[in-house]
Chains A and B, each alone.
Chain A
Amino acid sequence: MEIPFDIGNISGPENARVAQPEALGRAIKNAKRPLLVVGSEILDDDLIEKAIAIGKKGIPIAATAHSMKGFVDRGYTENVHLTGLHELANNIESRDWMGFDKTGGYDLIAVLGGIYYSTSQFLIALKNFATDPIVRCISIDRYYHPAARMSSVNISRKHTDEFKKMLDKVIENI
């Protein structure tokens, strides 16, 4: 069993299932309305290129923290939407919110490159309160996120290359 990246972050009896990157990719592919939520850590280690690759597969991107600047600098803003993580969670929980494209909410949220602890709280909020209709959350991050439904495992920064290969497999399966 994987441990949370912040070891004390065990909130309750239900924890995320560890999933292989192929399964994570397929979950995104099979969703009707997926959304990739990225944070400031995608500006490290060129992870933004992986986010852009996912965006180019047609998955809309919610750019939280100041990650938007990275997309602007790389000239990719096609389906990238500026938002705050807190505001986004509040919107996802709301039946009144019609998504970034004004056509409806999202049924699957994938997180990548957010600060561990705020992303964890984001996920646990959605787990408990984005329930009507249900919104499924997965982590394709370098952290195991117990509050997600499915999550990748913890991958140390010293193994960033492995992490990027894992992301490539996710992307291949979208």
Chain B
Amino acid sequence: MPPSNIEIEALKNVVINIGGIEEEEEEWETMGPTPMPGIADLRNWDYKLLKRYKPFYAPYCEMCCFCTFGKCDLTGGKKGACGLGMAAQQARFVTIACLMGCSAHTAHGRHLLRKVLKIVGDREINMGTGINIEAPLTRLITGIKPEKLSDFIPVLEYLEEQIAQLLDSTHTGQEGSNLDYESKAYHAGMLDSLGKEVADLIQIVAFDLPKGDPDAPLVEIGMGCVDESKPVILVIGHNVVPSVAVMDYMSDHGLDERIEVAGICCTAIDTTRYSQKAKIVGSIGRQLRFVRSGVADVIMVDEQCIRADILEQAKRIHAPLIATNDKALYGLVDRTNDSVDDIVAILASGKEPGVVILDPVKAGEVAVRVVQITHEKRKELVNILTDEEFKEYVTMCQNCDANCIVACPQGLPIGEANKAAAKGDTAPLASLFDPCVGCGRCEQVCKKHIPIVDVILKASLPYVKSEKGMIRVGRGPVRDTEIRKVGAPLVLGTIPGIIAIVGCGNYPNGTKDVYRIAKEFAERKYIVVLTGCGAMDAALYRDKDGKTLYEKYPGDFDGGCVLNIGSCVSNAHIHGAAIKVAAIYARRNIRGNYAEIADYILNRVGACGVAWGAMSQKAASIASGVNRIGIPVVIGPHGWKYRRAYLGRKYVDEDWVVYDARDGSKVQIEPAPEHMLVAADTYQEAIPLIARLCFRPTDNSMGRQVKLTHYMDLSMKYLGVYPDDWHIFVRGEADLPLARKEEYLRILKEEHGWDVDLEAKKILSGPVRKMDVGFDATNLEELIKKNK
């Protein structure tokens, strides 16, 4: 509005409304083209990804039952009554799943902000001397540089508006294109990454959690690490505020050493980031088993990844349940406004099996006071099966294989194991403990009503008691100073990649796979970062010297290090590290500049996500967000059930053409990375695949040598052969690992028909392209210098 003079005296009967006063924001960086992008603003980038990494659908359900036109059968190319076909329906479903995940993280952030503004006030965001780019995703996506906690309010408003718009698009009679639904799923994934960053930064600032500390302390983890002789509070979920209140109340009342606080899932990780007095039981797969073990004297839940029947399970072991978040209330009475004394009396007497307390501080006090009473009362209870009960149950089993094995998501041979146990050999039953995902579906269908979860737990007790690992508490963001050190080797490829092990515990064959994957890549000097369930499960195993990965390897963001970044919401810092490479090493402007930065990461940063046990909708949105920013993800075999993958076709040359930004010329490149989202069946298959997905077009020769060495070695180690596609990553003899150069040159000549001078050790022709040190790869026309 242009400035003008108004004569106030001349105005009569005029109402003046003054809107929000906008503060002049410091021009800290030039604003890019897409601050706070709407649904269609990054569609051009999405379509570039989708052209190369085409959506691949494996329908988990071939019908649609969303509206009363249905059910509609979509098989055989049929469309539903609304006109939607199979591909678009699958993409729509994925979009909805991503929105669920994105909503969980965003709402988590919103809840945290509301609570912490009340508890600690509007704190300044100060991430310490090593971190200037405090919120890379917030800067990248919204163009906002947050300086205090309340600066996240407009970020959350943006997220909430976009979630509503996206969810609207999934209503009957909206989007009809599978590709545009994929673009929307990408959008939800990107929003998810932002929601996670907001949530984690809020809790880091509010509760003074580690700010990128490579030497973050070690804490105990495992079902065997909990001291049962003390009162035990079990916290489950992802939202740490009530658990912080527990720790504070205990500390304020000198109870730190007298009460055990043990956690399951990300609340556990975040509680240990706050106080190292807490312990981590483990990931989601341990939930039912640990609850059934009866160790907990009080169970407190917040949000996400809690068993929906937690109240029934808590009742079974006579442990009161405290629900602290309005998203998971379990039909309990809301006693938020009752006095602490009254609530303690109700829970201690067992009059009510649990309560809702939406005030986290009050919930913390109640939990600590109640647990001291219930611990005494529960001392005589025996929740683990007696030897006699165990024998009776395993003998009852007829090994019918009729129900339990087809109900088990893993198809575990429960009957055979029971049969062996009946004869005195409990080893087969105990061997089911780790691959079992702890769902309990088997029990519900057993004709003999055998409590199979309890039977397996009993057989595994020696293992369970000895399950004691060590994990470095979640360190939070990667420091700018670390990026300055590793930026060049990462982009050039001499640090061969960042392996980001994230996600849930729905593994095909137990927790040890993630340990094996992390160990293999740490030994090979990749940067191994972990979050969430993956971070916890990798901590359960020790090497021959008795050291866990976190004890053996440093916690720096550098080659050959193993980092626990933190909980699920801390995933955002892995995106953040890649963004910082672009910002710090390449000096790219990141503000509101999503497509350029994603393009940079896709072409230059050799990172690969691994969601080996991906289970939840959050995992779907996490992967979509990682993919949109240009990082591929390998999922375990259960991941097929997400319905959609993004797979490249390396034999379609036109899919692998990029621009050289220097002059706009088109360059045929090798398929690097070949896929965006792909499943592997076993860890042996996954490991070479992960190495393959770390190739990038801009690797220099030294970097390509390193990556090729690992790819070839790992394929030979786990699959017994060299991969059949290694040669397409060779641009010249300088790319070949020195130790095997002659052998590889011979293979290129004899098996792939390349023109090779073996004596001179020269490749004369054959590669897709030659190595060009100045190659400035981009998929975006607007980044071609003459177009700028």
Instruction: Give chain A's interface residues, CB within 8 Å of chain B.
Output: 3-7, 11-14, 39-40, 64-66, 68-69, 71-73, 77, 81-82, 84-87, 89-91, 93-94, 96-98, 114-118, 121-122, 124-125, 127-129, 131, 154, 156-158
Known A6-B409, A69-B719, A72-B721; judge A84-B678 contact (CB<8 A).
Answer: yes
Min CB gap A75→B, angstroms = 11
Measured between alpha carbons, how far is A62 from B405 in the docked complex, in Å?
28
Which residues of B are found within 8 Å of A64, using beta-carbon distances?
681, 685
CB < 8 Å neighbour of A7 from B56, B63, B75, B407 = B407
Residues of B within 8 A of A (CB): 54, 56-63, 73-77, 86-87, 399, 401, 405-407, 409, 411, 413, 415-416, 508, 637-638, 640-641, 645, 647, 649, 651-652, 675, 678-682, 684-685, 689, 718-721, 723-724
How far is it, in angstroms, between the C-alpha of A16 and the C-alpha of B374 when the chains are bound? 55
- Pick the contact of A128: B75, B649, B721 (CB < 8 A): B75
Question: Among B54, B58, B647, B724, which residue has the most Cβ atoms of chain A within 10 A?
Answer: B58
State whether A122 touches B719 (Cβ < 8 A).
no
Determine whether the beta carbon of A82 is less than 8 Å from that of B681. Answer: no
Q: Measured between C-beta atoms, what is the minimum distance from A163 to chain B in Å? A: 13
The reply to whether A157 and B413 form a contact with Cβ atoms under 8 Å apart is yes
The 4 closest A-B pairs by CB, nearest first: A12-B62, A66-B684, A72-B720, A121-B640
Please name 24 pairs of A and B residues whose Cβ atoms are closer than 8 Å in the assembled complex, sorted by A.
A11-B62, A13-B73, A14-B75, A14-B76, A66-B684, A69-B719, A72-B720, A82-B724, A84-B678, A84-B680, A85-B679, A86-B647, A90-B54, A90-B56, A115-B681, A117-B637, A117-B641, A118-B640, A121-B640, A124-B62, A125-B58, A157-B413, A157-B416, A158-B415
Chain A residues closer than 8 Å to B54, beta-carbon distance: 90
CB closest chain-A residue, reference B648: A90
B406→A7 contact, CB < 8 A:
yes
Contacts known (A68-B719, A87-B647, A118-B640); A128 close to B409, Cβ less than 8 A = no
A158 & B401 in contact (Cβ 8 Å cutoff):
yes
A72 to B61, CA, bound (A): 37
Chain B residues contacting A12 (CB-CB under 8 Å) are 59, 61-63, 73-75
Known: A12-B59, A128-B59. 11 other contacts (CB 8 A): A5-B406, A6-B411, A69-B718, A73-B720, A84-B680, A86-B645, A94-B649, A97-B651, A117-B640, A118-B637, A129-B57
Q: How far is the CA of A69 from the CA of B715 in the complex (A)?
A: 10
Residue pair A118, B720 in contact (C-beta under 8 Å): no
Measured CA separation A156–B406 after assembly (Å): 10
Q: Which of B399, B407, B413, B649 has the most CB of A within 10 A?
A: B649
Residue contact A86 to B640, C-beta cutoff 8 Å: yes
Bound-complex Cα distance A107 to B406 (A)? 31
Q: Which residues of chain A are within 8 angstroms of B724 by Cβ–Cβ distance?
A: 81-82
Most buried by B among A6, A128, A157: A128
Looking at A4, A11, A64, A66, the one whose CB has the most chain B CB atoms below 10 A away is A66
User: Which of chain B's residues have a CB closer than 8 A to the CB of A96?
Assistant: 649, 651-652
Shortest distance between the CB of B587 and any CB in chain A (Å): 37
Question: In the assembled complex, how far is the CB of residue B369 from the closest CB belonging to chain A, in whole angstroms?
Answer: 43
Check B641 against A121 for contact (C-beta < 8 Å): yes
Residues of chain A within 8 A of B416, CB atoms compared? 157-158
For B679, the chain A residues whose CB sits under 8 A away are 84-86, 118
The answer to whether A65 touches B720 (Cβ under 8 A) is no
Give A154 to B400 CA distance when docked, in angstroms.
13
Closest A residue to B638 by beta carbon equals A117
Residues of A within 8 A of B640 (CB): 86, 117-118, 121-122
Counting chain A CB atoms within 10 Å of each CB, the highest count among B87, B638, B684, B720 belongs to: B720
**Across the interface, do B685 and A69 meet the contact criterion of CB distance under 8 Å?**
no
Residues of A within 8 A of B401 (CB): 156-158
Residues of B within 8 A of A94 (CB): 649, 652
Which of A122, A157, A158 touches B58 (beta carbons < 8 Å)? Answer: A122
A116–B411 touching, CB < 8 Å: yes
* Complex: chain B residue closest to A156, CB-CB: B401
Please determine whether B58 and A124 come into contact, CB atoms closer than 8 angstroms. yes
Out of A7, A66, A116, which one reaches B719, CB within 8 Å? A66
Taking the closest CB of chain A, its distance from the CB of B12, in whole angstroms, is 71
Residues of A near B718 (CB, < 8 A) are 66, 69
Q: Check if A86 sits within 8 Å of B86, measured CB to CB.
A: no
Q: Are B681 and A85 in contact (CB under 8 A)?
A: yes
CB-CB nearest in chain A for B400: A156
How far is B675's CA from A81's CA once the two chains are assembled, in angstroms?
20
- Chain B residues closer than 8 Å to A6, beta-carbon distance: 406, 409, 411
Bound CA–CA A85/B675 (angstroms) = 13
Given A69-B719, A90-B647, A117-B640, also A11-B406 (CB < 8 A): no
Give Cα distance in the complex from A93 to B55, angstroms: 12
Least CB separation from A41: chain B residue: B681
B57: chain A residues at CB < 8 Å are 125, 128-129
B64 to chain A, nearest CB (A): 10
Residues on B with C-beta less than 8 A from A93 are 56
Chain A residue nearest to B408 (CB atoms) is A6
* A40 to B75 Cα, complex, angstroms: 30
Inter-chain CA distance A116–B33, complex, in Å, is: 47
Residues of A within 8 A of B63 (CB): 11-13
Residues of B within 8 A of A89 (CB): 56, 58
> Chain A residues near B407 (CB, 8 Å)?
7
Chain A residues with CB under 8 Å of B411's CB are 5-6, 116
Q: How far is the CA of A114 from the CA of B77 in the complex (A)?
A: 27
Question: In the complex, which residues of chain B have a beta carbon less than 8 angstroms from the beta carbon of A118?
Answer: 637-638, 640, 679, 681
User: Residue on B with the closest CB to A100?
Assistant: B724
In the assembled complex, the CB of A96 is this many whole angstroms from the nearest CB of chain B, namely 5
CA A3 to CA B685, docked complex, whole Å: 30
Contact B681 A11 (CB under 8 A): no
Contacts of A5 in B (CB 8 A): 406, 411
Residue of A with least CB distance to B725: A82
Q: How far is the CB of B506 from chain A (nearest CB, A)?
A: 11
Does B58 lie within 8 Å of A65, measured CB to CB? no
CB of A103, distance to nearest CB on chain B (Å)? 14
**The one of B406, B409, B413, B651 that contacts A4, using a Cβ cutoff of 8 Å:** B406
Interfacial chain B residues near A122, Cβ < 8 Å: 58, 640
